[in-house]
Amino acid sequence: MKKQLLALAAMLAVSAGALAADIKVVVSADQPGPVIHRNIYGQFAEHLGTGIYEGMWVGPESKIPNVRGWRKDVVAALKDLKVPLVRWPGGCFADEYHWRDGIGPRNKRPVKVNTHWGGVPENNAVGTHEFFDLVEQLGAEAYVNANMGTGTPQEAAEWLEYMTGEGNATIVEQRRKNGRDKPFRVHYYALGNETWGCGGNMRPEYYADLYRHWATFLKTPAHNRPLFIASGGNDVDTTWTEVLSKNVKHNFDAIAHHAYTFPSGKWEGKGAAAGFPEAEWISMLSQVKKIDDTLAKSRVILDKNDPAKKLAIYFDEWGSWYDPEPGSNPGFLVQRNTLRDALLAALHFNVFHSHAERVKMSNVAQMVNVLQAMILTSKDKLVLTPTYHAFKLYTPFQDATSLPVKVENNPVYKHDKFEMPGLSVTAGRAKDGKLYVGLVNANATQAAELDLQVGAAAPKTVKGQVLTAGAMDAQNELGKAAQVVPQPFEAKATDGKLTIKLPAKSIVVVAVEG
Ligand code: AHR
């Protein structure tokens, strides 16, 4: 009996400790890991709904202030975010896009139907030259996704030649005639999108052969060679990673992967963007584990098939996807953006950082007005979403050197039938020389207290910003006071301990000082 009581007392002591302030976060600053590529903070802009037209492109004649057609306010907000690269023109749209429709005088470009997204007219006002003007205004890199679904190897090869060619070939002269003497700098070039689905319903073996065939003809001057991307798997499917990494060799630098998150976990009846119960808060956030697991599995495959580590994983579509906003065109993928989306983004970042050795790019879907957008616009107004602020908070991690982090006594957050680690933490030595820590408290109702150590010692001070709000679905709406905006955050050590108090449902990014 006495033995049993002692065992019970010991168990209570342990669990009481875990529930109280025994959480310890230890950063190993002396064990630098791989660099967190800035392109992990990449964006995706597709010809879809008002993602490009209206949202960013208003045309040079518009009363909305613009530079050569691109909205000044949107470009300024995106520049503030240090957008490192933009993927264009799709998505599913890419496999129905013919680049020649988008060059030459705009009033002569053909009007087509955007059959994939909403059945609306596509007037091709934004084409190759306009896209490069946008990325050059942003100071971002260009990721061009070629059409493999309804295109030809010749069309894909000629687009590349049009953009990068230097001599006096007729196609290069055509680019000059269209206003661009200097070649465009194409950093990334992909063949097809979601070729397992909207891009052609292919099998990975078939696509691998097709990729080998098409990639043979992709030629550029050596100093303007893009990194070439093969379209890969979806969600937890790593078969594409296996088949492609085993069978493709030439002009092959990265495998794209996509995974979206729906509250219900299902494509049909995804769930609402706002006005949801806590069960749908945690169901969304806990799904990030699936991405972590899939990346871990993909890395094992790549380490086997590509031990020299030449191939990268580009997670070039991810984010929340909800039922369409009532009253909107369902093909426009309009959705609200709440605090939940900001935390979902930060959890993705932490996972991508932990796989930085192979994950060298990710593109949130999408940049403006579509799915998990950074910016929502209406006529000449715009609003910065909670997701925008999550991206902004994490900018110091662009090109930072990742550092290992251990979370001791990480509390388990449980609700309904779901559970996940309560805290997610990442750390890196940024380009400014400072050590940054990013912390997410996923728990919707309980704050967390943790002690931070760098090696064996507590830092003197941490300073940064916190993003949180009163409601799980707090959002920033046009014409209303913003509910989700970063606030200053600071903690100081006392008695050799630095305790950080994370509010419930919050993101904190701090620089360690002293
Ligand atoms: O981002 C919206 C769509 O989602 C993309 O066009 C497609 O690639 C994916 O299915």
Atom of ligand 1 nearest to the CA of 319: 1
Give Cα 10 distance to the centre of its chain.
45
Closest residue to atom 7 of ligand 1, CA basis: 91
Give Cα 113 distance to the centre of its chain.
28
pLDDT value at 289 more than 90: yes
3-state secondary structure (DSSP) of residue 314:
strand
Q: Are 154 and 217 a contacting pair, CB within 8 Å?
A: yes
- pLDDT on residue 316: 98
Rounded mean pLDDT, 226-249: 98
Q: Are 315 and 351 a contacting pair, CB within 8 Å?
A: no
Q: How far is the CA of 330 from the centre of ligand 1 (A)?
A: 13
- pLDDT on residue 21: 55
Q: How far is the CA of 82 from the centre of ligand 1 (A)?
A: 24
- pLDDT on residue 514: 75
H, E, C per residue of 178-230: CCCCCCCCCCEEEECCCCCCCCCCCCHHHHHHHHHHHHCCCCCCHHHCCEEEE
Q: Are 507 and 439 a contacting pair, CB within 8 Å?
A: yes
Phi/psi-derived region of residue 476, left when phi > 0, alpha when psi is between -120 and 50, beta in every other case = beta
pLDDT value at 17 more than 70: no
Q: How far is the CA of 92 from the centre of ligand 1 (A)?
A: 6
Place of tokens 């955007």: 114
What's the CA gap between 389 and 268, in Å, rounded? 30
Pocket of ligand 1 (CB under 6 A): 46, 90-92, 193-194, 317, 365-366, 371
- Which residue would you say has higher pLDDT here, 204 or 21? 204
Question: Which of 48, 86, 87, 92 for mutating ligand 1's site (highest number of atoms within 8 Å of CB)?
Answer: 92
Residue 513 backbone phi and psi in degrees, to 5: -125, 125
- pLDDT tens sequence across 303-350: 999 999 999 999 999 999 999 999 999 999 999 999 999 999 999 999
Threshold 0.85, pTM exceeds: yes
Atom of ligand 1 nearest to the CA of 46: 6
- pLDDT tens sequence across 78-107: 999 999 999 999 999 999 999 999 999 999
What burial letters (b/e) apply to 217-236, b meaning 16+ CB within 10 Å? ebebeeebbbbbbbbbbbee
What's the CA gap between 70 and 235, in Å, rounded? 34
H helix or E strand, kind and range, residue 392: helix 386-393
Distance between first and last Cα of the chain: 51
Place of tokens 């550092």: 403
Give Cα 41 distance to the centre of its chain.
6
Q: Which residues on adjacent β-strands are paired with residue 256?
A: 314
H helix or E strand, kind and range, residue 350: helix 339-354
Alpha helix stretches (DSSP H) within 232-338:
239-247, 278-286, 288-305
Q: How far is the CA of 332 from the centre of ligand 1 (A)?
A: 11
Closest residue to atom 3 of ligand 1, CA basis: 91
- pLDDT on residue 188: 98
Closest residue to atom 2 of ligand 1, CA basis: 91
Atom of ligand 1 nearest to the CA of 317: 1
pLDDT value at 374 more than 50: yes
pLDDT value at 217 more than 60: yes
Residue 343 backbone phi and psi in degrees, to 5: -70, -35
Q: How confident is the model at residue 19 (pLDDT cuts 50, 70, 90)?
A: very low
What's the CA gap between 505 and 439, in Å, rounded? 11
C-alpha separations of 125 from 58, 119, 237, 369 in Å: 10, 17, 36, 18
3-state secondary structure (DSSP) of residue 13:
helix
Burial of 11 (0-12, 13-18, 19+ CB in 10 A): exposed
Q: Are 355 and 40 a contacting pair, CB within 8 Å?
A: no
Q: Are 80 and 137 a contacting pair, CB within 8 Å?
A: no
Active-site hit among 130, 141, 161, 194:
194
What's the CA gap between 233 and 250, in Å, rounded? 20
Closest residue to atom 4 of ligand 1, CA basis: 91
Atom of ligand 1 nearest to the CA of 90: 6
Q: How far is the CA of 91 from the centre of ligand 1 (A)?
A: 5
Active-site hit among 317, 325, 408, 477:
317
Which of 185, 181, 137, 138 minimizes the C-alpha distance to 160? 185
- pLDDT on residue 15: 33
| Residue 93, CA atoms < 13 Å, CB-side half-sphere | 27
Q: How far is the CA of 311 from the centre of ligand 1 (A)?
A: 23
Largest distance between two CA atoms of the chain: 93
Rounded mean pLDDT, 59-73: 98
Question: Which of 52, 86, 198 for mutating ligand 1's site (highest number of atoms within 8 Å of CB)?
Answer: 198
Return the structure tokens found at 124.
Answer: 């091709």
Neighbours of 136 (CB within 10 A): 12
Residue 496 backbone phi and psi in degrees, to 5: 70, 15
Closest residue to atom 8 of ligand 1, CA basis: 91
Atom of ligand 1 nearest to the CA of 92: 6
Give catalytic status of residue 194 as yes or no. yes
Question: Which of 88, 117, 193, 234 for mutating ligand 1's site (highest number of atoms within 8 Å of CB)?
Answer: 193
Burial of 451 (0-12, 13-18, 19+ CB in 10 A): middle
- pLDDT tens sequence across 381-397: 999 999 999 999 999 99
Atom of ligand 1 nearest to the CA of 199: 8
What's the CA gap between 203 and 8, in Å, rounded? 56
Atom of ligand 1 nearest to the CA of 91: 6
Q: How far is the CA of 188 from the centre of ligand 1 (A)?
A: 18
C-alpha separations of 373 from 110, 232, 334, 443, 462 in Å: 29, 23, 9, 23, 30
Q: How far is the CA of 432 from the centre of ligand 1 (A)?
A: 36
pLDDT value at 16 more than 80: no
pLDDT value at 29 more than 70: yes
pLDDT value at 2 more than 60: no
Closest residue to atom 6 of ligand 1, CA basis: 91
Question: Which of 317, 334, 369 for mutating ligand 1's site (highest number of atoms within 8 Å of CB)?
Answer: 317
pLDDT, averaged across the chain? 95
To the nearest 10°, the Cα dihedral for 371, 372, 375, 377? 30
- pLDDT on residue 174: 98
- pLDDT on residue 3: 40
What's the CA gap between 10 and 6, in Å, rounded? 6
Give catalytic status of residue 317 as yes or no. yes
H, E, C per residue of 253-271: CEEEEEEEECCCCCCCCCC
- pLDDT tens sequence across 428-439: 999 999 999 999
